[in-house]
Chains A and B, each alone.
Chain A
Amino acid sequence: MGGTTDLAELTGAELADALAAGETTSVEATRACLDRIEALDGTLGSFLHVDAEGALAAAAEADERRSAASPASPLDGVPVAVKDLLCTVGQPTTAGSRILEGWVPPYDATVVTRLRRAGLPILGKTNLDEFAMGSSTEHSAYGPTRNPWDTERTPGGSGGGSAAAVAARLAPLAIGTDTGGSIRQPGALTGTVGVKPTYGGVSRYGIVAMASSLDQAGPVTRTVLDAALLHEVIGGHDPLDSTSIDAPVPPVVEAARRGDVAGLRIGVVKELGGEGFQSGVQARFEESVQLLTEAGATVVEVSCPSFAHALAAYYLVMPSEVSSNLARFDAMRYGLRVFPEGVDDPSAEQVMAATRDAGFGDEVKRRIILGTYALSSGYYDAYYGSAQKVRALVARDFGRAFEQADVLVSPTAPTTAFRMGEKLDDPLAMYLQDVATIPANLAGVPGLSLPAGLAEDGLPVGVQFLAPLQADDRLYNAAAALERLLLEKWGGPLLAPSATEEVSA
Chain B
Amino acid sequence: MSVEITRDDVAHLAGLARIQLDDDELDRLGQELPKIIESVATVSQALEGAGEVEPMSHPTPLRNVFREDVVHECLTPEAALAGAPASEEQRFMVPKILGEE
Contacts and interface: CB of A to CB of B under 8 A. Distances in A.
Interface of A: 103-107, 198-200, 213-214, 239, 242-243, 245, 306, 308-309, 312-313, 315-316, 323, 327, 330-337, 340, 345-354, 356-357, 360, 362, 365-366, 368-370, 372-373, 376, 382-383, 385-393, 395, 427-428, 442-444, 469
Contacts of B47: 386, 389-390, 393
Contacts of A357: 19-22, 25
B97 A348 contact: yes
A391 B46 CA distance: 11
Given A312-B40, A389-B55, A353 B19 contact: yes
Contact of A313 (B43, B79, B98): B43
Nearest to B20: A353
A199 B55 CA distance: 18
A247 to B, nearest CB: 11
Contacts of B59: 199-200, 213-214, 395, 442-444, 469
A328 to B, nearest CB: 11
B30 to A, nearest CB: 10
7 contacts: A347-B97, A362-B25, A372-B17, A383-B40, A385-B55, A428-B39, A469-B59
Q: Which 3 residue pairs spanning A and B have beta carbons closest together?
A: A444-B59, A334-B83, A388-B55
Interface residues of B, number: 54
B32 interface: yes
Given A347-B96, A370-B37, 9 more contacts: A313-B40, A315-B36, A345-B96, A356-B18, A356-B19, A369-B13, A370-B33, A388-B57, A389-B53
A395 to B, nearest CB: 6
B62 A392 contact: no
Contact of A427 (B18, B36, B44, B82): B36
Contacts, number: 183
A207 to B, nearest CB: 16
A312 B95 contact: no
Give chain A's interface secondary structure class. helix
A312 B43 contact: yes
B54 A392 contact: yes
Contacts of B40: 312-313, 315-316, 383, 387
B43 A390 contact: yes
A327 B67 CA distance: 26
Given A383-B40, A427-B36, A376 B56 contact: no
A318 to B, nearest CB: 10
| Residue among B59, B85, B96 having the largest count of chain A Cβ atoms under 10 Å | B59
B32 A427 contact: yes
B19 A245 contact: no
B46 to A, nearest CB: 4
A366 B95 contact: no
A243 B97 contact: no
Contacts of B54: 389, 392
Given A242-B65, A389-B56, A312 B46 contact: yes
A312 B42 contact: yes
Contacts of B55: 385, 388-389, 391-392
B17 A368 contact: yes
B13 A245 contact: no
A347 B36 contact: no
